[in-house]
Amino acid sequence: MRDLQTIAEGARAAKRITARLGATEKNRALEAIASALESNTDTILSANKADITLARENGLNDGLIDRLTLTETRIFAIAEGVRQVAALDDPVGEVLWMKTRPNGLRIGQKRVPMGVIGIIYEARPNVTVDAAALCFKAGSACILRVGKEAFRSSLCLAELMRGALESCGLPADAINLVEDTSRETANQMMRLNGYLDVLIPRGGAGLIRAVVENATVPVIETGTGNCHIYVDESADLSKAAAILKNAKCQRISVCNAAESLLVHAAVAGQFLPLAAEALAPDHVRLHGCARTCEILGDTVIPATEEDYAQEYLDYEISVRVVDSLDEAIEHINTYNTGHSECIVTESYTAAERFLDEVDAAAVYANASTRFTDGFEFGFGAEIGISTQKLHARGPMGLEALTSTKYIIYGSGQIR
């Protein structure tokens, strides 16, 4: 088992090679990774089965089990994501602009690799591949640290990817998985100054908070998702019910799933029964305000302040009746996590106000929040969804994993 210091030194050496690779070389390696995953599906599923067995024995909830689970379909989708990354334009080397100063200096800005990117994440083995592929295409080496629940699956995936790089004559240390899943190793990784150029946490609120508060290396904060669906007074109610059902129930364990429903008082009497009917097949538990309880009766659990701020990651949702668009926006900006928010409305004015005034990385008019995803946005895979405002915001694809440098051409100028 390689210790963290050995891994860090290997990644730092590998980054000098990955930074020099052209698009053709990187894409050939990514295709080798995708093929290796597809060719070793049974091996991956066997490792994943061991993870799932232990997770059930340790009492992981159904939402986390879903995040952990790989199937043949999911593995082939992961491989397809790698190929989509290969098909994307290479951002490294792009000159963003070039201007000539009065003294004749030509000054430009150019995209360059980050160097070594660290990612700390939880029970999501697919992140192992997504993160590695994106970092590699962006010209960087990566150090991945997964939670113990997904360790066996991730180790299998990482070894396959490292082997694919070697088969292309490239350093395996461009992709690294930390093999010690102890908390102390995670803390050490947060302090890898001189080795890590940036650290990205991807997981629950506790993990993200721990990294933000304890890291001494630069951090890009990805966020939890208390996402809202607001049904406006002018909404097409059947459209609203379909969007709500998809956003809440299509996959409960993801950060872009809806966790809160707001309904304008003018349509609450009509819409809430439709909402309850749409959510009933999945047995979604409703935590509602007093007016919600009046309309739907004893099936509703009275909501608390904590419910409005909750990321359930389960078949539960908070519900509140509001009297205006202003109240809906105020509620969302008070309780949301800056992730994804949706208004269902037939009013252009209401939609534009919502899009302008709601403070979140992705804001929708008449579409499910489930689309906040690098694949759906055309980025291929994603490294995570940033809910902060510096450097990157929203789904983070290749460009978000690069930095820039200024390039200056002179002809002997002195100051």
- For 350-401, how does the pLDDT look when each residue is reduced to its tens digit (9 = 90+)? 999 999 999 999 999 999 999 998 778 877 667 778 877 777 888 888 888 9
Q: Where are the alpha helices (DSSP H) in 139-289?
A: 151-167, 183-189, 205-214, 237-249, 265-279
**Residues 2-26 as b or e (16 or more Cβ within 10 Å = b):** eebeebbebbbebbeebbebebeeb
Q: What is the mean pLDDT of the chain?
A: 94
pLDDT at 381: 67
β partners of residue 4: none
Longest dimension (CA), the chain: 81
pLDDT, tens digit (0-9, with 9 covering 90-100), for 97-125: 999 999 999 999 999 999 999 999 988 89
Q: Where are the alpha helices (DSSP H) in 58-182?
A: 62-68, 72-87, 125-137, 151-167
pLDDT at 285: 96
pLDDT surpasses 90 at 6: yes
Decide: 136 and 162 in contact? Cβ < 8 Å. Answer: no
- This model's pTM is above 0.85: no
- For residues 304 and 318, give the distance between their C-alpha atoms in angstroms, rounded to a whole number: 9
Q: Which residues does 194 contact at the CB level (< 8 Å), separation at least 6?
A: none
pLDDT at 60: 85
Residues of the chain with pLDDT > 90: what percent? 81
pLDDT surpasses 70 at 302: yes
Decide: 266 and 280 in contact? Cβ < 8 Å. Answer: no
Q: Which residues does 20 contact at the CB level (< 8 Å), separation at least 6?
A: none
